[in-house]
Amino acid sequence: MTDDLGWSEREFGYRFSDAGLLERALTHRSAGGNHNERLEYLGDAALSLVVAEALYERLPQAPEGHLSRLRASLVRRSSLGEIAREAGFPERLRLGSGELKSGGFRRESILSDALEAVLGAIYLDGGIEALRPVVLRLYGARLDELPAHEDLKDPKTLLQERLQARGLPLPRYELEAVAGEDHRQEFRISCAIEGMNDVSTGTGSSRRAAEQAAAAGMLAQLDG
């Protein structure tokens, strides 16, 4: 545990008063005992608040929709997983034998949850004033290089706006097929625009993901 405390100080610039909080934050439920799910819940909310506050201060002219999309991009699972890997979480996690054998220490969901749990633990240990500099430290470069408004829009939104600007009908999405078992399905969706011959298809693990892929394909056709 002493080494974990030193790691926390190096990576986050924070030293815990209650070492047990850090130990719990790094313990996945597969390891049994006092695991990190409640801390993850708290950290998720606290992180969102600090990031929202940082964006509000840095972008005084940005509309609410842009701020919301920026926050979502910064706190989504993939972003948290990257930060967790950069901070050395895979070597610190306490996992059950099953998760260890299946490579759980590399799994994005486990890494992102553990990062949120540690942030929740810092919040409990030191309050929001202790958490704020930790989050700003972790997100330093990401906050300095925020994407443009247009880059944050998903393919369905971009396609709809492109069609409306050209006075064209909105796209129609249709479910073409569903394959795989209930817990691992793959959806295939087609995207068509009335009056146009072009049709694009997309696949994904959810209907929404497949629609986004189909919309991206249609955008590529419009730009081609």
Amino acid making up residue 31: A
To the nearest 10°, report the CA torsion of 197, 210, 72, 146.
-50
DSSP output for 130-180: HHHHHHHHHTHHHHHTPPPTGGGS-HHHHHHHHHHHTTPPPPEEEEEEEES
Diameter of the chain measured on Cα atoms: 67
- Return the structure tokens found at 213: 């892929």
Q: What sign does the CA torsion over 104, 7, 42, 69 have? A: negative
Task: Choose among 26, 196, 45: nearest CA to 123.
Answer: 45
Residue 189: strand pairing partners:
175, 202
Supply the residues annotated as catalytic.
44, 116
- Return the structure tokens found at 171: 């796209």
Contact by Cβ (8 Å): 188, 203:
yes
Give the CA angle between residues 213, 217, 221 to the nearest 5°. 170
- Report d(CA 181, CA 204) in Å as an integer: 14
Task: Choose among 12, 9, 77, 66: nearest CA to 40.
Answer: 77
